[in-house]
Structure 1
Amino acid sequence: LQADSCPPAEPCAPCAQLSPTGGPDWIITPDAGPCVECGVDLFITAEFIYWTAREDHLAFAAQGSLQDNLVTPEVRKGKVAEPGWKFSPGFKVGLGFITDHDGWDLYANYTWLRPKTSKKKLHPVGDLVVQDAFNWIGTTTLAGTNNGQTISKAEGKWALDFNVVDLELGRNFFISRYLKLRPHFGLKGTWQKQRMDTKFKSVNANGDKFVARNTDRLDYWGIGIRGGLDTSWHFNNCFSLFGELAISNLWERFEVERKSTTQNLETRLFSVPMYLCDNFHTIKPVIELFLGLRYEDWFCCDTYHMSIEAGWEEQWWSDQNQLIQYWVETRGGDLFLQGLTVKLRFDF
């Protein structure tokens, strides 16, 4: 005879599986857990993310401009060069606890992502115009000046170190037979680093070759209040469509630095014509959106619960481009992250 696969049930709090009728009649919004039989009410999460990061106003050069040229009245259509955006893998991990106080839950989550752009190169069509004034080596600038040198190539790349910790207090409950809501509030903390490297090559009227480099760095941290709403639209006990929204307002500190160097490749003379730094505090908003499909189920006589979900996630970080562009000016620009998120949750 085959033994019963479920151990004898021990007395413990009753647990309702995705049913708003599981609680007493006086409960208006019954707890939706998910809970397990005789568990410790802990859950862990692990997420794989495959996101792309984009930031405004990182163009570093442009083609298709004529400077001081009266012989040729027209130039072919040119391009504006930005870093080569691409998708990068990352992860999230989390730990949560469902309390016995009306089903409130505490949840902490950490996000790790290291997006990098491919190196983007641009060669002249007409004159090659760069986004910064390198008059000390004699390149053509956006202001339209030209002191006898021609830019032969421009290239740039950008990288981001992205770390975020979210702490939530929430409650998951039914408002109808197949619809669940989970309002939550808490804190968001983040620390990030950005780096933008640009390089320009030029030749003067005497045939001397020059290389100019910009290295821009940004160190940033922020902390603030975060709140949101998670929704689950159930087709049955196992499958549901979910949508999530969260909004934060962060107190932030930026530390920015720019170092510009030039080198004459003929004489090997090296100089540092610009070395700037700045730091300041400000408040900026963050908006997060997530839409996807979830499957969940209980096993081992309801002593464990597991769910898997996949969807598209988007984040908007306001005015994160505080890199120094020329002397003491900054351009500003928003940071956007979006891509695939696959999440696994285990309750025990």
Structure 2
Amino acid sequence: MKRLLTFALLSTSCILFADESRMRNIENRLTCLEDCGQNCCCLINPPARPYTPDCWGLYVNVDPLIWQAHVNGLGLVIQTNGSTDFFNTAGQSRVQNLNYDWDWGFRLGLGLNTTHDAWDILLQWTSWCTDAKRDFTAGPNQANFPHFGHPRELNEISANSVTSKWELRYNILDLEGAREFWVSKCVSLRPFGGLRSAWIDQKEFNIDLKDLSIPLYENYSIQQSDRFWGIGIRSGLDMQWGIAGGFSLFNNFAGNLLYSYHSVKHKEKGDDENLFDVENFYHLGSAIFDMQLGIRYDWISCDCCYHVGLDLGWEHHWHPGQNQFLLFVDDVLASKYVANQGDLGIQGYFLKVRFDF
């Protein structure tokens, strides 16, 4: 009984001592913060940028971009090999897709380094245009069976010649607030949140089929476009690992949830005759995910008022369900279609130049 009582007293003393130690630690931190004055915030996750209230606090960044886009679900035709019949055992058929180009774009940013807890505010605009083309002709014992086109008009019909073009205009406007701080002597984090507005205009996706196996028309044309706009919430995390001599590695990630709309237009023509013209306008929720990875160099002046940063890296932007073109699938129920046939992915390289003053 005495042993049990002694153990209980010791346990209670340990618990009280641990609680007293934690309270003393908190009181010491609070006392230190009170003694430090306005810059007390720097002791808790100290800012990873110079804390210079006497400077302008502005910064600009300019990013040349070289990107390439890919959209799945935009197969043009299935090309047979060894036979002009779709159902055959002579050779392996293959889906013919667009050839996507690499194109230049830019990203411009204007930011403010505030003196309130070392927060920063950034307004950034990204603009990029690209296209994709593919023209080909069937060879001997080959035939091109179209993927797009209404089955009532093109059922079991192949084309000898195919011409196609896809064009994209991409504009993004971001407004975000953030705080970059050290979590160790070489690692910093920059959590941020804000707003994003996106204009993604697939101006044209046209396919021209010529020399049809059943000569209903000399030229059969499918013309499509998709105008997208959205606005919503943006949140993410920038991470940096210092190496030495001003060099570091970085990895940035952001997610965006937008309230958006698609305005999809679909037209098919036989020669110059307009066979039908359909428009689909609707609202929905959309997501965009962004990721960057690369190497960075930073230089800061002696008075900490001026900073030059250079980033070189690779980035990827994923737009789930961005392919909303109409695909008609029934030659009996003429109005039956499917959409949401694929994602838009944009990847490439960038060089970021930042100047703080």
| Aligned partner (choices 192, 197, 202) of residue 184 of structure 1 | 192
More helix per residue: 1 or 2? 2
Q: What one-letter code is carried by the residue in structure 2 that aligns with 1:304?
A: Y
Question: 309, 312, 333: which one pairs with 2:342?
Answer: 333
Q: Does 1:48 align with 2:64?
A: yes
Per the alignment, in what secondary structure is the counterpart of residue 30 of structure 1?
coil
Residue equivalent to 1:75: 90
Q: Is the 8 A contact 1:81 1:121 kept in 2?
A: no
Q: Which residue of 258, 274, 277 maps to 1:275?
A: 277
TM-score using structure 2 length: 0.80
CA distance in 1, matches of 2:149, 2:40: 72
Alpha-carbon distance change, 254 to 26 in structure 1, aligned in 2, over 3 angstroms = closer
1:306 offset after TM fit, Å?
0.4
TM-fit CA distance, 1:235: 1.1
Q: Is the 8 A contact 2:41 2:117 kept in 1?
A: no
Contact 1:76 1:126 in 2 (8 A): no
Q: Secondary structure, in 3 states, of the residue corresponding to 1:235?
A: strand
State the distance in 2 between where 1:193 and 1:335 align: 12
Q: After superposition, give the CA deviation of every residue in 1:9-39 in whole Å (9 maximum; x if it has no partner).
A: xxxxxxxxxxxxxx65971211112455832
Structure 1 gap segments, 5+ residues each: 1-22, 264-269
Are 1:85 and 2:97 counterparts? no
1:182 and 1:226 map into 2 onto residues whose CA distance is 14
Question: 1:184-235, CA deviations, whole angstroms, 9 ceiling, x for partnerless residues?
Answer: 0011111121020100002466x78610111101011011111000011001
* Structure 1 residue corresponding to 2:236, chosen from 228, 231, 234: 228
2:173 is aligned, of 154, 165, 172, to: 165
* Aligned positions of 1:63-142 closer than 5 A: 63-64=79-80, 74-123=89-138, 125-133=141-149, 139=154, 141=155
Question: Between Structure 1 and Structure 2, whose CA radius of gyration is higher?
Answer: 2
Which residue of the other structure, out of 227, 233, 256, is the alignment partner of 1:248?
A: 256
Deviation of 1:62 after TM superposition, in Å, equals 1.1
Whether the 8 Å contact between 1:34 and 1:305 is mirrored in structure 2 is no
The verdict on how the C-alpha distance between 1:77 and 1:318 changes in structure 2, with shifts beyond 3 A counting, is same
Aligned letter for 1:280? Y
Residue identity opposite 1:169 in structure 2: G
- My pick for the range that moved more, 270-279 or 293-302, is 293-302
2:339 is matched by which residue type in structure 1? T
Quote the sequence identity (%): 27
Q: Distance in 2 between matches of 1:339 and 1:58?
A: 21
The alignment partner of 1:76 has SS state of coil
User: Following TM superposition, by how much is the alpha carbon of 1:75 offset from its aligned partner in structure 2, in angstroms?
Assistant: 2.8
The letter for the 1-side match of 2:122 is Y
Aligned partners of 1:36 and 1:305 also within 8 Å: no
Residues 1:28 and 2:36 are matched in the alignment? no
SS in 2 for 1:117: strand
* 8 Å contact kept, 1:33–1:98: no
- Match of residue 196 from structure 1: 205
Distance 1:26 1:110 in 2: 31
Structure-2 change in CA distance of 1:135 and 1:29 (3 Å): closer
How many Å separate the matches in 1 of 2:351 and 2:175?
20
Alpha-carbon spacing, 1:168–1:25, altered in 2? closer, same or farther (3 Å)? closer
3-state SS in 2 of match to 1:312: strand
The equivalent of 1:316 in structure 2 is: 318
Counterpart code for 2:54: C
Q: 2:266 matched to 1:258? A: yes
Contact 1:136 1:273 in 2 (8 A): no
Q: Does 1:284 align with 2:286?
A: yes
- Amino acid corresponding to residue 111 of structure 2 in structure 1: G
The residue aligned with 2:218 is 210
Two-structure CA RMSD over aligned residues (Å) = 2.4
2:86–2:145 Cα contact (<8 Å) kept: no
1:307 matches 2:309 = yes
Q: How many Å apart are 1:126 and its aligned residue? A: 3.5
Change (3 A) 1:56 1:86: same
* 2:182 is the alignment partner of 1:174: yes
Q: How many equivalent residue pairs?
A: 309
- The aligned amino acid for 1:155 is T
Question: For residue 17 of structure 1, what is the aligned residue in structure 2?
Answer: none
Q: Report if the CA contact (8 A) 2:259-2:283 is conserved.
A: yes
1:260 Cα deviation (Å)? 1.1
Supply the distance in 2 between the matched residues of 1:230 and 1:204 (Cα, whole angstroms). Answer: 56
The alignment's TM-score, normalised by the length of structure 1, stands at 0.82
SS of the equivalent of 2:127 reads strand
Specify every segment of 5 or more residues in structure 2 that has no aligned partner in the other structure, as ranges: 1-38, 329-334
Look up the SS of the partner of 1:303 in the other structure. coil
> Structure 1 residue 329: deviation in Å?
2.9
1:152-204: CA deviation from partner (whole Å, max 9, x where unpaired): 11221211100001111100111111111100001111112102010000246
Q: Tell me the SS of whatever aligns to 2:322.
A: coil
Quick check: 2:229–2:262 contact (8 Å CA) kept in 1?
A: yes
SS at match of 1:319: strand
Structure 1 Cα separation of the partners of residues 280 and 231 of structure 2:
20
